[in-house]
Structure 1
Amino acid sequence: MDIVQIVLIGIVATLLYILLKDISPSYSFFIVLITSILILVIVIKQIGIIIQLLKSLGDKASVNAFYVETILKIIGIAYITELGSNVTKDAGLASVASKIELAGKIFILLLAIPIISAVVEVILNFIPASGNQFPGQ
């Protein structure tokens, strides 16, 4: 089971980190980095399954593939940003981690602009064209 592997890897990495952090901080950081990458590699298989499921659901619901792909990219950026930010915080560089988070938010906003525009267009299509359509005016 993959979750058991991930938890065991995390526990072993934690023990190694605790043992090495006072002796060699640079090695302890590399343990954190390698552990994060290893867990990401294990999880990537599951992410592929989720992506296929979401694409299939999008096809069944007749949702434009562009929107499904954009949402998947946004989710990917969020996870990658969080991973990079956490590893950077573990290295003691909180200011760099906050810049990574800011960059992730900006990229997400850039990808979301077409979706936001489409939602605004749909809303505007529901609003009547003439201005005084309210009763009593």
Structure 2
Amino acid sequence: MEMIQVVGLGLIATILILIIKEQKPMFAFLIATCTGIIIFLFLIGKIGAIVNVLDKLAESSGINMIYLKTILKIIGIAYIAEFGAQVVRDAGQESIASKIELAGKVLIMALAIPIISIIIETVMKLLPA
């Protein structure tokens, strides 16, 4: 049922944008941006529930919580960068959208360094000396 609401909102916004775009392109952009924000706000509760389940799974399996938090930050950066890039693309600024995506990738790599180093250390311990 929730997906029908999201799709319905998207379709209504799309129809409004198509009608308004030729007369007032700025309003069309604002409708698109507001629709994206509303959909994101609609999903925050679901995201919170997913994070809670992952926290419980990490605690029960004995995984260090710092790794889970790092992975959640990485996922958050990826989603925010994608959302920001899409909004900027909707405004017709492809080059800025590309820079936002590049910044997201660099920040993800920076956060992933501790996890990558742990993986490399583990692999090195498994290899014969």
Fold agreement, TM-score > 0.5 = yes
- Residue in structure 2 matched with residue 76 of structure 1 by the alignment: 76
Amino acid at match of 1:12: I
Identity among equivalent positions (%) equals: 47
Counting matched residue pairs gives 129
What's 1:132 paired with? Answer: none
- The unaligned stretches of length 5 or more in structure 1 are 130-137
- Structure 2 residue matching 1:108: 3-state secondary structure: helix
Q: Which residue of 1 aligns with 2:27?
A: 27
Structure 2: which 5+ residue stretches go unaligned?
none
Is the radius of gyration larger for structure 1 or structure 2?
A: 1
Give the Cα–Cα distance (whole angstroms) in 2 for the partners of residues 2 and 108 of structure 1.
30
Aligned-pair Cα RMSD in Å = 0.8
CA distance in 1 between counterparts of 2:66 and 2:2 reads 31
In the alignment, is the contact (CA less than 8 A) between 1:70 and 1:111 conserved in 2?
yes
Residues 79-133 of structure 1 deviation map (CA, whole Å, 9 limit, x = unaligned)? 111100111111000000000000000000000000001111111112233xxxx
Cα distance in 2 for residues equivalent to 1:70 and 1:120: 17
Which structure 2 residues correspond to residues 82-101 of structure 1 after superposition, within 5 A? 82-101=82-101
Post-superposition CA distance 1:32-82 (Å, at most 9, x none): 000000000001110001101111111111110000010011111111111
TM-score under structure 2 length normalisation: 0.97
